[in-house]
């Protein structure tokens, strides 16, 4: 059973991280990732390259839903070309 699960998560993705400070890896390219890779690994790379600080309260969204960075791309049901929006949670505000 582990062999089946391993092969299901063993696929390639193209990932871009979109932040208020820029796009990782850049405007014209995606970073290759594997389905088994944790989302937070790519977010940490983006933070380093974009020189982001204090992202502890940021949230990640893909396909119009919040995803869990502590889980893999496969566990977050992400595949193919994935654009992750990563920023502070937007406040509700209101009147």
pLDDT in tens, 3-57: 444 556 789 999 999 999 999 999 889 999 999 999 999 999 999 999 999 999 9
The answer to whether residue 94 sits within a structural domain is no
**39 neighbors 74 (Cβ within 8 angstroms):** no
Residues 19, 86 contacting (CB under 8 angstroms): yes
Tokens standing for residue 25? 């890896």
Quote the pLDDT of residue 68.
98
CB 50 within 8 A of CB 68: no
Beta strands 65-67 and 31-34 are: unpaired
pLDDT in tens, 50-90: 999 999 999 999 999 999 999 999 999 999 999 999 999 97
* In a domain? residue 95: no
Give the predicted TM-score (pTM) of the model.
0.85
Number of domains composing the chain: 1
Domain annotation covers residue 67: yes
Token pair of 58, please?
Answer: 């940021």
Are the C-beta atoms of 71 and 2 separated by less than 8 Å?
A: no
Position 62 in a domain = yes
């Amino acid at each position: 059973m582990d062999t089946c699960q391993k092969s299901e998560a063993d696929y390639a993705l193209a990932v871009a991280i979109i932040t208020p400070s820029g796009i990782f890896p850049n405007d014209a390219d995606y970073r290759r990732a594997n389905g088994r890779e944790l989302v937070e690994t790519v977010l940490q790379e983006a933070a380093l390259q974009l020189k982001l600080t204090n992202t502890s309260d940021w949230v990640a969204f893909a396909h119009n839903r919040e995803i869990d960075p502590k889980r893999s791309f496969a566990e977050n049901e992400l595949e193919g070309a994935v654009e992750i929006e990563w920023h502070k949670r937007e406040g509700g505000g209101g009147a």
